[in-house]
Amino acid sequence: MKVLVAVKRVIDYNVKIRVKADNTGVETANVKMSMNPFDEIAVEEAIRMREKGLATEVIVFSAGPAQCQETIRTALAMGADRGVLVQSDAELQPLAVAKLMKAVVDKEQPGLVIVGKQAIDDDSNQTGQMLAALLGWSQGTFANKLHVVDGSAEVKREVDGGLENIKIKLPAVITTDLRLNEPRYASLPNIMKAKKKPIEVLTADALGVDITPRLKVLKVEEPPKRKSGIKVKTVAELIDKLRNEAGVI
Amino acid sequence: MAVLVVAAHDGKTVRSNVANAVTAASQMDPDVHVLVAGSNAGEAAKSAAAIQSVAKVLQAEDTAYANWVAEDVAPLVVKLAPGYSHVVMAADSVGKNLAPRVAALLDVAQVSEAIKVVSPDTFVRPIYAGNAMATVQTADKIKVVTIRPTNFKAAAGGGGAPIEQIGGTGAGGLAAYVGAELSKSERPELTSAKIVVSGGRGLASGENFKMLEALADKLGAGLGASRAAVDAGYVPNDYQVGQTGKVVAPDLYIAIGISGAIQHLAGMKDSKTIVAINKDEEAPIFQVADYGIVGDLFQIVPELTAAVEKK
Protein backbone atom coordinates (compact mmCIF):
# COMPACT_ATOMS: atom_id res chain seq x y z
CA MET A 1 0.00 0.00 0.00
CA LYS A 2 1.26 3.45 -0.91
CA VAL A 3 0.77 6.26 1.61
CA LEU A 4 0.45 9.85 0.43
CA VAL A 5 1.24 12.68 2.85
CA ALA A 6 0.78 16.39 2.26
CA VAL A 7 3.17 19.07 3.48
CA LYS A 8 2.59 22.82 3.50
CA ARG A 9 5.26 25.48 3.55
CA VAL A 10 4.32 28.01 6.22
CA ILE A 11 5.94 30.77 8.24
CA ASP A 12 7.94 29.05 10.99
CA TYR A 13 5.96 28.62 14.19
CA ASN A 14 8.54 30.60 16.17
CA VAL A 15 8.31 33.71 14.00
CA LYS A 16 6.27 36.62 15.27
CA ILE A 17 4.28 37.53 12.18
CA ARG A 18 3.77 41.10 10.93
CA VAL A 19 0.69 42.37 9.15
CA LYS A 20 1.57 44.30 5.96
CA ALA A 21 1.17 48.05 6.21
CA ASP A 22 -1.32 48.10 3.31
CA ASN A 23 -3.49 45.47 5.06
CA THR A 24 -3.34 43.04 2.13
CA GLY A 25 -1.86 40.17 4.10
CA VAL A 26 1.02 39.07 6.28
CA GLU A 27 4.67 39.87 5.52
CA THR A 28 6.41 36.77 4.11
CA ALA A 29 9.48 38.36 2.51
CA ASN A 30 12.72 37.42 4.32
CA VAL A 31 10.80 35.41 6.89
CA LYS A 32 11.89 31.93 7.95
CA MET A 33 9.65 29.28 6.39
CA SER A 34 9.22 25.70 7.60
CA MET A 35 7.04 22.66 7.22
CA ASN A 36 3.67 23.02 8.96
CA PRO A 37 4.20 21.22 12.32
CA PHE A 38 1.08 19.04 11.94
CA ASP A 39 2.42 17.86 8.56
CA GLU A 40 5.70 16.75 10.19
CA ILE A 41 3.54 14.45 12.32
CA ALA A 42 1.84 13.16 9.16
CA VAL A 43 5.21 12.44 7.51
CA GLU A 44 6.48 10.69 10.65
CA GLU A 45 3.37 8.48 10.87
CA ALA A 46 3.69 7.42 7.23
CA ILE A 47 7.40 6.61 7.60
CA ARG A 48 6.68 4.52 10.70
CA MET A 49 4.07 2.59 8.70
CA ARG A 50 6.66 1.81 6.05
CA GLU A 51 9.19 0.81 8.70
CA LYS A 52 6.63 -1.61 10.16
CA GLY A 53 5.95 -3.05 6.70
CA LEU A 54 2.41 -1.59 6.57
CA ALA A 55 3.28 0.76 3.70
CA THR A 56 5.38 0.12 0.63
CA GLU A 57 6.11 3.69 -0.37
CA VAL A 58 5.67 7.16 1.15
CA ILE A 59 4.88 9.88 -1.39
CA VAL A 60 5.05 13.54 -0.32
CA PHE A 61 2.64 16.01 -1.90
CA SER A 62 2.89 19.79 -1.77
CA ALA A 63 1.30 22.65 -3.66
CA GLY A 64 2.61 26.19 -3.98
CA PRO A 65 5.64 28.08 -5.25
CA ALA A 66 8.91 26.43 -6.37
CA GLN A 67 10.34 26.82 -2.84
CA CYS A 68 7.92 24.12 -1.66
CA GLN A 69 10.53 21.72 -3.07
CA GLU A 70 12.59 22.55 0.05
CA THR A 71 9.66 21.50 2.24
CA ILE A 72 9.30 18.27 0.27
CA ARG A 73 13.09 17.70 0.65
CA THR A 74 12.70 18.00 4.42
CA ALA A 75 10.13 15.19 4.33
CA LEU A 76 12.39 13.15 2.04
CA ALA A 77 15.25 13.66 4.50
CA MET A 78 13.01 12.33 7.29
CA GLY A 79 12.61 9.19 5.19
CA ALA A 80 9.84 9.63 2.62
CA ASP A 81 10.54 8.09 -0.80
CA ARG A 82 9.59 10.64 -3.44
CA GLY A 83 7.78 13.92 -3.94
CA VAL A 84 5.08 15.46 -6.07
CA LEU A 85 4.81 19.24 -6.29
CA VAL A 86 1.95 21.05 -7.95
CA GLN A 87 3.77 24.27 -8.65
CA SER A 88 1.75 27.47 -8.56
CA ASP A 89 2.37 31.06 -7.54
CA ALA A 90 -1.35 31.68 -7.19
CA GLU A 91 -3.14 31.79 -3.84
CA LEU A 92 -4.28 28.25 -3.04
CA GLN A 93 -7.29 27.82 -0.76
CA PRO A 94 -8.22 24.53 0.98
CA LEU A 95 -10.86 23.45 -1.59
CA ALA A 96 -8.37 23.99 -4.44
CA VAL A 97 -5.65 22.05 -2.62
CA ALA A 98 -8.10 19.21 -1.92
CA LYS A 99 -8.94 19.09 -5.64
CA LEU A 100 -5.25 19.06 -6.61
CA MET A 101 -4.63 16.28 -4.12
CA LYS A 102 -7.59 14.32 -5.49
CA ALA A 103 -6.06 14.50 -8.98
CA VAL A 104 -2.76 13.15 -7.64
CA VAL A 105 -4.56 10.46 -5.60
CA ASP A 106 -6.42 9.35 -8.75
CA LYS A 107 -3.04 8.96 -10.45
CA GLU A 108 -1.07 7.37 -7.61
CA GLN A 109 -3.83 5.25 -6.03
CA PRO A 110 -2.56 5.32 -2.41
CA GLY A 111 -4.39 3.23 0.18
CA LEU A 112 -4.10 5.96 2.79
CA VAL A 113 -3.62 9.73 2.82
CA ILE A 114 -2.28 11.44 5.94
CA VAL A 115 -2.39 15.24 6.34
CA GLY A 116 -2.00 17.69 9.22
CA LYS A 117 -5.31 18.65 10.81
CA GLN A 118 -4.62 22.33 10.34
CA ALA A 119 -2.00 24.64 8.89
CA ILE A 120 -0.70 27.20 11.37
CA ASP A 121 -0.95 30.05 8.84
CA ASP A 122 -4.60 30.17 7.75
CA ASP A 123 -5.83 27.91 10.61
CA SER A 124 -8.59 26.55 8.34
CA ASN A 125 -8.71 22.87 9.37
CA GLN A 126 -10.45 21.85 6.13
CA THR A 127 -8.25 20.18 3.51
CA GLY A 128 -8.28 16.58 4.80
CA GLN A 129 -12.04 16.48 5.30
CA MET A 130 -12.59 18.09 1.88
CA LEU A 131 -10.31 15.57 0.18
CA ALA A 132 -12.14 12.65 1.86
CA ALA A 133 -15.45 14.10 0.63
CA LEU A 134 -14.21 14.57 -2.95
CA LEU A 135 -12.88 11.00 -3.03
CA GLY A 136 -15.93 9.53 -1.30
CA TRP A 137 -13.56 8.09 1.32
CA SER A 138 -13.85 7.83 5.07
CA GLN A 139 -12.05 10.29 7.32
CA GLY A 140 -10.24 9.86 10.61
CA THR A 141 -9.72 13.42 11.80
CA PHE A 142 -7.67 14.75 14.75
CA ALA A 143 -5.94 11.38 15.14
CA ASN A 144 -4.26 10.65 18.45
CA LYS A 145 -3.54 7.00 17.53
CA LEU A 146 -3.71 5.14 14.24
CA HIS A 147 -3.80 1.40 13.84
CA VAL A 148 -4.14 -0.10 10.35
CA VAL A 149 -5.51 -3.66 10.15
CA ASP A 150 -6.85 -5.67 7.20
CA GLY A 151 -8.42 -3.05 5.00
CA SER A 152 -9.52 -0.78 7.80
CA ALA A 153 -8.09 1.72 10.25
CA GLU A 154 -8.81 2.07 13.94
CA VAL A 155 -8.47 5.72 14.84
CA LYS A 156 -8.43 7.28 18.28
CA ARG A 157 -9.58 10.87 17.82
CA GLU A 158 -9.10 13.93 20.02
CA VAL A 159 -12.59 15.38 20.58
CA ASP A 160 -14.09 18.04 22.88
CA GLY A 161 -14.83 15.72 25.79
CA GLY A 162 -11.74 13.50 25.53
CA LEU A 163 -11.06 10.71 23.06
CA GLU A 164 -13.27 8.88 20.58
CA ASN A 165 -12.59 5.55 18.84
CA ILE A 166 -13.78 4.90 15.32
CA LYS A 167 -13.18 2.18 12.79
CA ILE A 168 -13.05 3.30 9.18
CA LYS A 169 -12.75 1.53 5.85
CA LEU A 170 -9.66 1.98 3.73
CA PRO A 171 -8.84 3.84 1.61
CA ALA A 172 -9.17 6.75 4.01
CA VAL A 173 -7.89 10.21 4.85
CA ILE A 174 -6.30 10.71 8.29
CA THR A 175 -5.68 14.14 9.80
CA THR A 176 -3.08 14.33 12.56
CA ASP A 177 -3.38 15.82 16.01
CA LEU A 178 -0.45 16.74 18.22
CA ARG A 179 -0.20 13.56 20.27
CA LEU A 180 -0.08 11.10 17.34
CA ASN A 181 3.73 10.87 17.45
CA GLU A 182 6.91 12.86 17.92
CA PRO A 183 8.50 13.56 14.53
CA ARG A 184 12.14 12.61 14.09
CA TYR A 185 14.94 14.93 13.08
CA ALA A 186 16.60 14.23 9.76
CA SER A 187 20.17 12.98 10.10
CA LEU A 188 22.95 14.48 7.98
CA PRO A 189 23.43 11.32 5.84
CA ASN A 190 19.67 11.25 5.21
CA ILE A 191 19.67 14.92 4.24
CA MET A 192 22.38 14.11 1.68
CA LYS A 193 20.45 11.07 0.45
CA ALA A 194 17.26 13.11 0.10
CA LYS A 195 18.94 15.33 -2.50
CA LYS A 196 18.90 12.40 -4.91
CA LYS A 197 15.27 11.42 -4.35
CA PRO A 198 12.93 12.36 -7.22
CA ILE A 199 10.40 15.20 -7.09
CA GLU A 200 7.86 15.31 -9.90
CA VAL A 201 6.65 18.82 -10.75
CA LEU A 202 3.11 19.22 -12.10
CA THR A 203 0.76 22.12 -12.77
CA ALA A 204 -2.91 22.63 -11.97
CA ASP A 205 -3.59 23.08 -15.69
CA ALA A 206 -2.02 19.74 -16.55
CA LEU A 207 -4.13 18.11 -13.85
CA GLY A 208 -7.25 19.87 -15.16
CA VAL A 209 -8.05 21.46 -11.79
CA ASP A 210 -9.62 24.90 -11.38
CA ILE A 211 -7.78 26.59 -8.50
CA THR A 212 -9.57 29.95 -8.61
CA PRO A 213 -9.92 31.21 -5.00
CA ARG A 214 -13.51 31.18 -3.74
CA LEU A 215 -12.90 33.45 -0.78
CA LYS A 216 -11.80 37.00 -1.42
CA VAL A 217 -9.58 38.44 1.29
CA LEU A 218 -10.77 42.04 1.66
CA LYS A 219 -8.24 43.01 4.31
CA VAL A 220 -5.91 41.66 6.97
CA GLU A 221 -5.50 43.64 10.17
CA GLU A 222 -3.70 43.52 13.49
CA PRO A 223 -5.86 42.18 16.29
CA PRO A 224 -6.85 44.65 19.00
CA LYS A 225 -4.08 44.88 21.60
CA ARG A 226 -4.73 44.17 25.26
CA LYS A 227 -3.96 47.01 27.59
CA SER A 228 -0.89 46.07 29.59
CA GLY A 229 -1.69 45.20 33.16
CA ILE A 230 0.04 45.54 36.50
CA LYS A 231 2.07 43.31 38.77
CA VAL A 232 0.82 42.80 42.28
CA LYS A 233 3.03 41.80 45.19
CA THR A 234 0.74 39.71 47.36
CA VAL A 235 -2.20 37.35 47.14
CA ALA A 236 -4.21 39.71 49.34
CA GLU A 237 -3.62 42.51 46.82
CA LEU A 238 -4.65 40.21 43.95
CA ILE A 239 -7.88 39.21 45.70
CA ASP A 240 -8.64 42.86 46.37
CA LYS A 241 -8.13 43.77 42.69
CA LEU A 242 -10.21 40.86 41.43
CA ARG A 243 -13.02 41.63 43.84
CA ASN A 244 -13.11 45.41 43.80
CA GLU A 245 -11.52 46.51 40.52
CA ALA A 246 -12.32 43.74 38.04
CA GLY A 247 -15.40 42.50 39.90
CA VAL A 248 -14.90 38.93 38.72
CA ILE A 249 -14.92 37.02 42.02
CA MET B 1 -33.27 32.51 2.18
CA ALA B 2 -33.05 30.89 5.57
CA VAL B 3 -29.94 29.78 7.49
CA LEU B 4 -29.50 26.16 8.57
CA VAL B 5 -27.72 25.67 11.89
CA VAL B 6 -26.50 22.10 12.32
CA ALA B 7 -26.72 21.28 16.02
CA ALA B 8 -24.55 18.79 17.88
CA HIS B 9 -26.19 17.23 20.91
CA ASP B 10 -25.87 14.45 23.49
CA GLY B 11 -29.29 12.92 22.82
CA LYS B 12 -30.97 14.97 25.55
CA THR B 13 -30.02 18.58 24.83
CA VAL B 14 -28.22 20.39 22.07
CA ARG B 15 -24.75 21.64 23.02
CA SER B 16 -24.75 25.03 24.72
CA ASN B 17 -22.76 26.50 21.80
CA VAL B 18 -25.78 25.97 19.49
CA ALA B 19 -27.33 29.06 21.13
CA ASN B 20 -24.21 31.02 20.14
CA ALA B 21 -24.38 29.63 16.60
CA VAL B 22 -28.05 30.71 16.38
CA THR B 23 -27.05 34.28 17.29
CA ALA B 24 -24.36 34.27 14.58
CA ALA B 25 -26.80 32.74 12.08
CA SER B 26 -29.48 35.35 12.80
CA GLN B 27 -26.94 38.03 11.81
CA MET B 28 -26.70 36.35 8.38
CA ASP B 29 -30.48 36.02 7.93
CA PRO B 30 -33.28 36.36 10.49
CA ASP B 31 -34.93 33.11 9.37
CA VAL B 32 -32.98 30.49 11.34
CA HIS B 33 -33.69 26.75 11.14
CA VAL B 34 -31.90 24.20 13.31
CA LEU B 35 -31.16 20.66 12.17
CA VAL B 36 -31.10 18.06 14.94
CA ALA B 37 -30.01 14.73 13.49
CA GLY B 38 -29.84 11.70 15.72
CA SER B 39 -31.31 8.49 16.96
CA ASN B 40 -34.04 9.22 19.54
CA ALA B 41 -33.27 12.92 19.29
CA GLY B 42 -36.72 14.09 20.34
CA GLU B 43 -35.55 15.68 23.60
CA ALA B 44 -32.61 17.35 21.87
CA ALA B 45 -34.95 18.72 19.19
CA LYS B 46 -37.16 20.20 21.92
CA SER B 47 -34.15 21.90 23.50
CA ALA B 48 -33.31 23.44 20.11
CA ALA B 49 -36.90 24.60 19.67
CA ALA B 50 -36.63 26.47 22.97
CA ILE B 51 -33.84 28.74 21.69
CA GLN B 52 -35.19 32.24 20.97
CA SER B 53 -35.10 33.37 17.32
CA VAL B 54 -35.23 29.83 15.97
CA ALA B 55 -38.06 29.71 13.40
CA LYS B 56 -38.12 25.95 12.87
CA VAL B 57 -36.40 22.78 14.03
CA LEU B 58 -35.82 19.89 11.62
CA GLN B 59 -35.52 16.57 13.43
CA ALA B 60 -33.96 13.82 11.33
CA GLU B 61 -34.22 10.36 12.89
CA ASP B 62 -31.84 7.67 11.71
CA THR B 63 -29.74 5.17 13.65
CA ALA B 64 -26.89 6.22 11.35
CA TYR B 65 -26.81 9.62 13.08
CA ALA B 66 -26.48 8.26 16.62
CA ASN B 67 -22.80 9.10 17.03
CA TRP B 68 -22.20 11.95 14.62
CA VAL B 69 -20.22 9.99 12.05
CA ALA B 70 -19.42 12.73 9.52
CA GLU B 71 -19.57 10.33 6.57
CA ASP B 72 -23.25 9.64 7.37
CA VAL B 73 -24.43 13.06 8.57
CA ALA B 74 -22.84 15.00 5.67
CA PRO B 75 -25.21 13.56 3.00
CA LEU B 76 -28.22 14.74 5.04
CA VAL B 77 -26.88 18.29 5.34
CA VAL B 78 -25.97 18.28 1.63
CA LYS B 79 -29.50 17.18 0.76
CA LEU B 80 -31.03 20.05 2.77
CA ALA B 81 -28.48 22.74 1.89
CA PRO B 82 -29.91 23.88 -1.50
CA GLY B 83 -32.91 25.30 0.40
CA TYR B 84 -30.63 27.59 2.42
CA SER B 85 -28.29 30.54 1.94
CA HIS B 86 -25.97 29.44 4.76
CA VAL B 87 -25.04 26.30 6.67
CA VAL B 88 -23.68 27.23 10.09
CA MET B 89 -21.97 25.14 12.76
CA ALA B 90 -20.07 25.89 15.95
CA ALA B 91 -16.32 25.40 15.44
CA ASP B 92 -16.07 22.56 17.95
CA SER B 93 -14.77 19.05 17.27
CA VAL B 94 -18.09 18.06 15.64
CA GLY B 95 -18.32 21.13 13.41
CA LYS B 96 -14.65 21.02 12.43
CA ASN B 97 -15.04 17.39 11.39
CA LEU B 98 -18.31 17.75 9.50
CA ALA B 99 -18.47 21.23 7.93
CA PRO B 100 -15.55 20.86 5.45
CA ARG B 101 -16.96 17.53 4.26
CA VAL B 102 -20.29 19.25 3.59
CA ALA B 103 -18.62 22.22 1.88
CA ALA B 104 -16.57 20.03 -0.47
CA LEU B 105 -19.62 17.93 -1.40
CA LEU B 106 -21.43 21.19 -2.24
CA ASP B 107 -18.33 22.44 -4.11
CA VAL B 108 -18.18 25.60 -2.00
CA ALA B 109 -15.51 27.19 0.19
CA GLN B 110 -15.80 27.14 3.96
CA VAL B 111 -15.25 30.09 6.25
CA SER B 112 -13.62 28.64 9.39
CA GLU B 113 -14.10 30.05 12.90
CA ALA B 114 -15.80 33.32 12.01
CA ILE B 115 -15.65 35.74 14.94
CA LYS B 116 -17.78 38.45 13.35
CA VAL B 117 -20.53 38.63 10.72
CA VAL B 118 -19.86 41.82 8.73
CA SER B 119 -22.62 41.13 6.20
CA PRO B 120 -24.31 37.95 4.94
CA ASP B 121 -21.34 37.19 2.67
CA THR B 122 -18.48 38.79 4.62
CA PHE B 123 -16.87 37.53 7.81
CA VAL B 124 -13.90 38.25 10.06
CA ARG B 125 -11.79 35.27 11.06
CA PRO B 126 -8.51 34.93 12.95
CA ILE B 127 -5.44 33.63 11.11
CA TYR B 128 -1.91 32.93 12.38
CA ALA B 129 -3.13 31.93 15.84
CA GLY B 130 -5.11 35.15 16.13
CA ASN B 131 -2.11 37.36 15.40
CA ALA B 132 -3.94 38.72 12.36
CA MET B 133 -7.61 39.15 11.53
CA ALA B 134 -8.75 38.49 7.96
CA THR B 135 -11.97 39.88 6.51
CA VAL B 136 -13.11 37.43 3.84
CA GLN B 137 -15.95 37.54 1.36
CA THR B 138 -17.48 34.47 -0.22
CA ALA B 139 -19.20 34.44 -3.59
CA ASP B 140 -20.55 30.91 -3.22
CA LYS B 141 -24.32 30.47 -3.44
CA ILE B 142 -24.44 28.34 -0.28
CA LYS B 143 -22.11 29.66 2.39
CA VAL B 144 -20.70 27.11 4.82
CA VAL B 145 -19.49 28.87 7.96
CA THR B 146 -18.19 27.63 11.29
CA ILE B 147 -18.35 30.21 14.06
CA ARG B 148 -16.27 30.65 17.20
CA PRO B 149 -18.90 30.39 19.97
CA THR B 150 -17.10 32.67 22.45
CA ASN B 151 -17.48 35.62 20.05
CA PHE B 152 -21.28 35.45 19.85
CA LYS B 153 -23.67 35.88 22.77
CA ALA B 154 -25.84 32.84 23.43
CA ALA B 155 -29.44 33.33 22.25
CA ALA B 156 -31.88 33.23 25.17
CA GLY B 157 -34.21 30.35 25.94
CA GLY B 158 -37.98 30.39 26.29
CA GLY B 159 -38.77 30.03 22.60
CA GLY B 160 -41.21 27.55 21.13
CA ALA B 161 -40.36 26.83 17.50
CA PRO B 162 -42.25 24.09 15.66
CA ILE B 163 -40.47 20.77 15.16
CA GLU B 164 -40.72 19.13 11.75
CA GLN B 165 -39.81 15.48 11.32
CA ILE B 166 -37.74 14.67 8.25
CA GLY B 167 -36.37 11.41 6.92
CA GLY B 168 -32.83 10.14 7.29
CA THR B 169 -30.32 9.28 4.59
CA GLY B 170 -29.12 5.96 6.02
CA ALA B 171 -25.65 4.63 6.77
CA GLY B 172 -22.97 4.63 4.09
CA GLY B 173 -20.90 1.94 5.79
CA LEU B 174 -17.63 3.86 5.48
CA ALA B 175 -17.10 4.52 9.16
CA ALA B 176 -18.33 3.16 12.46
CA TYR B 177 -18.26 4.62 15.96
CA VAL B 178 -16.63 2.23 18.42
CA GLY B 179 -16.67 4.10 21.71
CA ALA B 180 -15.38 7.07 23.63
CA GLU B 181 -13.04 7.70 26.53
CA LEU B 182 -14.43 10.90 27.94
CA SER B 183 -12.93 12.81 30.84
CA LYS B 184 -15.32 12.72 33.76
CA SER B 185 -15.65 15.99 35.59
CA GLU B 186 -18.16 17.76 37.79
CA ARG B 187 -16.56 21.06 36.91
CA PRO B 188 -18.06 23.52 34.41
CA GLU B 189 -17.27 22.81 30.78
CA LEU B 190 -14.13 24.68 29.74
CA THR B 191 -15.50 26.69 26.82
CA SER B 192 -18.57 27.98 28.68
CA ALA B 193 -17.13 28.38 32.21
CA LYS B 194 -17.21 31.89 33.73
CA ILE B 195 -13.85 31.28 35.38
CA VAL B 196 -11.04 29.09 34.06
CA VAL B 197 -8.00 27.95 36.05
CA SER B 198 -5.26 26.76 33.72
CA GLY B 199 -1.92 25.09 34.39
CA GLY B 200 1.28 24.70 32.42
CA ARG B 201 4.63 23.02 32.51
CA GLY B 202 5.42 24.92 35.72
CA LEU B 203 3.17 22.48 37.58
CA ALA B 204 5.89 19.87 36.97
CA SER B 205 3.58 16.85 37.37
CA GLY B 206 0.03 15.62 36.93
CA GLU B 207 -0.12 15.08 40.69
CA ASN B 208 0.41 18.82 41.24
CA PHE B 209 -2.68 19.62 39.17
CA LYS B 210 -4.67 18.57 42.27
CA MET B 211 -3.63 21.91 43.69
CA LEU B 212 -5.35 23.65 40.77
CA GLU B 213 -8.41 21.44 41.16
CA ALA B 214 -8.78 22.69 44.72
CA LEU B 215 -8.62 26.30 43.52
CA ALA B 216 -10.98 25.61 40.61
CA ASP B 217 -13.52 23.98 42.92
CA LYS B 218 -13.49 26.96 45.30
CA LEU B 219 -14.10 29.32 42.38
CA GLY B 220 -16.57 27.08 40.54
CA ALA B 221 -14.11 27.22 37.65
CA GLY B 222 -13.34 25.02 34.66
CA LEU B 223 -9.87 23.50 34.44
CA GLY B 224 -7.58 24.02 31.45
CA ALA B 225 -3.96 23.50 30.50
CA SER B 226 -1.26 24.55 28.06
CA ARG B 227 -0.11 22.24 25.30
CA ALA B 228 3.12 21.61 27.24
CA ALA B 229 1.16 20.21 30.19
CA VAL B 230 -0.94 17.98 27.92
CA ASP B 231 2.06 16.74 25.94
CA ALA B 232 3.84 15.93 29.21
CA GLY B 233 0.84 13.79 30.17
CA TYR B 234 -0.13 15.83 33.25
CA VAL B 235 -3.75 16.11 32.03
CA PRO B 236 -5.89 14.73 29.14
CA ASN B 237 -5.98 16.32 25.68
CA ASP B 238 -9.42 17.91 26.14
CA TYR B 239 -7.91 20.32 28.71
CA GLN B 240 -5.78 22.03 26.06
CA VAL B 241 -6.40 25.74 25.53
CA GLY B 242 -4.83 27.32 22.47
CA GLN B 243 -4.58 27.71 18.70
CA THR B 244 -5.20 24.03 18.06
CA GLY B 245 -7.08 23.20 21.25
CA LYS B 246 -10.02 24.99 22.78
CA VAL B 247 -10.72 28.70 22.63
CA VAL B 248 -12.05 30.18 25.86
CA ALA B 249 -13.13 33.69 26.81
CA PRO B 250 -14.25 33.56 30.46
CA ASP B 251 -14.70 36.54 32.80
CA LEU B 252 -11.59 35.40 34.64
CA TYR B 253 -8.68 33.31 33.34
CA ILE B 254 -5.98 32.34 35.80
CA ALA B 255 -2.80 31.11 34.07
CA ILE B 256 -0.57 29.24 36.48
CA GLY B 257 2.93 28.16 35.51
CA ILE B 258 2.19 28.95 31.86
CA SER B 259 4.87 30.88 29.98
CA GLY B 260 2.45 32.15 27.35
CA ALA B 261 3.54 30.95 23.91
CA ILE B 262 1.58 32.68 21.13
CA GLN B 263 -0.18 29.37 20.44
CA HIS B 264 -1.56 29.39 24.00
CA LEU B 265 -2.45 33.10 23.96
CA ALA B 266 -4.53 32.42 20.82
CA GLY B 267 -6.89 30.37 22.94
CA MET B 268 -7.42 32.73 25.88
CA LYS B 269 -6.54 36.33 25.11
CA ASP B 270 -10.18 37.34 24.68
CA SER B 271 -10.80 36.59 28.36
CA LYS B 272 -12.19 39.60 30.23
CA THR B 273 -9.66 39.51 33.05
CA ILE B 274 -6.41 37.56 32.95
CA VAL B 275 -4.29 36.67 35.97
CA ALA B 276 -0.81 35.21 35.54
CA ILE B 277 1.21 33.44 38.21
CA ASN B 278 4.73 32.63 37.08
CA LYS B 279 8.22 32.59 38.61
CA ASP B 280 9.79 34.07 35.45
CA GLU B 281 9.03 37.77 35.36
CA GLU B 282 10.02 37.88 31.66
CA ALA B 283 7.37 35.27 30.74
CA PRO B 284 5.26 36.52 27.79
CA ILE B 285 2.06 35.66 29.67
CA PHE B 286 2.57 38.86 31.70
CA GLN B 287 2.17 40.92 28.51
CA VAL B 288 -1.49 39.94 28.27
CA ALA B 289 -2.22 39.65 32.00
CA ASP B 290 -4.24 42.31 33.78
CA TYR B 291 -2.77 41.18 37.08
CA GLY B 292 0.47 39.30 37.44
CA ILE B 293 2.26 37.81 40.41
CA VAL B 294 5.91 36.85 40.04
CA GLY B 295 6.72 34.03 42.39
CA ASP B 296 6.59 30.39 43.32
CA LEU B 297 3.24 28.94 42.29
CA PHE B 298 3.56 26.18 44.90
CA GLN B 299 3.40 28.87 47.56
CA ILE B 300 1.01 31.31 45.86
CA VAL B 301 -1.70 28.89 44.70
CA PRO B 302 -2.44 27.36 48.14
CA GLU B 303 -2.45 30.87 49.61
CA LEU B 304 -4.87 32.02 46.90
CA THR B 305 -7.08 28.97 47.42
CA ALA B 306 -7.24 29.67 51.15
CA ALA B 307 -7.97 33.36 50.58
CA VAL B 308 -10.78 32.66 48.13
CA GLU B 309 -12.39 30.47 50.77
CA LYS B 310 -12.73 33.47 53.04
CA LYS B 311 -15.08 35.12 50.52
> Which tens digits make up the pLDDT trace of B204-245?
999 999 999 999 999 999 999 999 999 999 999 999 999 999
Q: Which CATH superfamily is domain A2-223 in?
A: HUPs (3.40.50.620)
CB of A127 within 8 Å of a chain B CB? The answer is yes
B:253-272 residues touching chain A, CB 8 A cutoff = 262-263, 269, 272
CB contacts of A134 in chain B (<8 Å) are 104
3-state secondary structure (DSSP) of residue A248: coil
- Going by DSSP bridges, is the β-strand pair A172-176/A112-116 parallel, antiparallel, or unpaired? parallel
Please check the confidence at residue A107 and state whether its pLDDT lies above 90: yes
Mean pLDDT of A7-23: 96
Dihedral (C-alpha) A98, A99, A104, A105: value to the nearest 10 degrees? 70
Please check the confidence at residue A136 and state whether its pLDDT lies above 70: yes
CB contacts of A165 in chain B (<8 Å) are 177-181
What's the pLDDT score for residue A17?
96
Strand runs labelled E in chain A: 2-6, 9-11, 33-35, 57-64, 82-87, 112-116, 138-149, 152-159, 162-169, 172-176, 199-202, 215-221, 230-231
- What 8-state DSSP symbol labels residue B53? T
Please check the confidence at residue B64 and state whether its pLDDT lies above 50: yes
pLDDT tens-digit map of A143-174? 999 999 989 999 999 999 999 999 999 999 99
- How would residue B80 be classed by pLDDT, with cut points 50, 70 and 90? very high
Percentage of chain B beyond pLDDT 70 is 99
Please check the confidence at residue A135 and state whether its pLDDT lies above 50: yes
- What 8-state DSSP symbol labels residue A244? I
User: Mind telling me how many Å the CA of B123 is from chain A's nearest CA?
Assistant: 10
- Going by DSSP bridges, is the β-strand pair A57-64/A2-6 parallel, antiparallel, or unpaired? parallel
pLDDT tens-digit map of A66-75? 999 999 999 9
Please check the confidence at residue B182 and state whether its pLDDT lies above 80: yes
Give residue limits of the domains in chain A. Answer: 2-223
A:1-60 residues touching chain B, CB 8 A cutoff = 11, 13, 16-17, 19, 26, 38
A:144-203 residues touching chain B, CB 8 A cutoff = 144, 154, 157-169, 177-179
Task: Check CB contact under 8 Å for A160 and B92.
Answer: yes
Residue B190: CB atoms within 10 A of its CB come to 25
Q: Is the pTM of this model over 0.80?
A: yes
Task: Check CB contact under 8 Å for B178 and A167.
Answer: yes
Mean pLDDT of A134-151: 97
CB of A225 within 8 Å of a chain B CB? The answer is no
Mean pLDDT of A89-117: 98
Domains and CATH numbers, chain B: 3-166 (3.40.50.620), 190-309 (3.40.50.1220)
User: Mind telling me how many Å the CA of A233 is from chain B's nearest CA?
Assistant: 6
pLDDT tens-digit map of B111-163? 999 999 999 999 999 999 999 999 999 999 999 999 999 999 999 999 999 99
Q: Is the peptide bond before A171 cis (omega within 30 degrees of 0)?
A: yes
CB contacts of A127 in chain B (<8 Å) are 100
Task: Check CB contact under 8 Å for A219 and B135.
Answer: yes
What's the pLDDT score for residue B311?
44
Output Rg (C-alpha) for chain B, integer angstroms: 21
- How would residue A228 be classed by pLDDT, with cut points 50, 70 and 90? confident
What's the pLDDT score for residue B309?
67
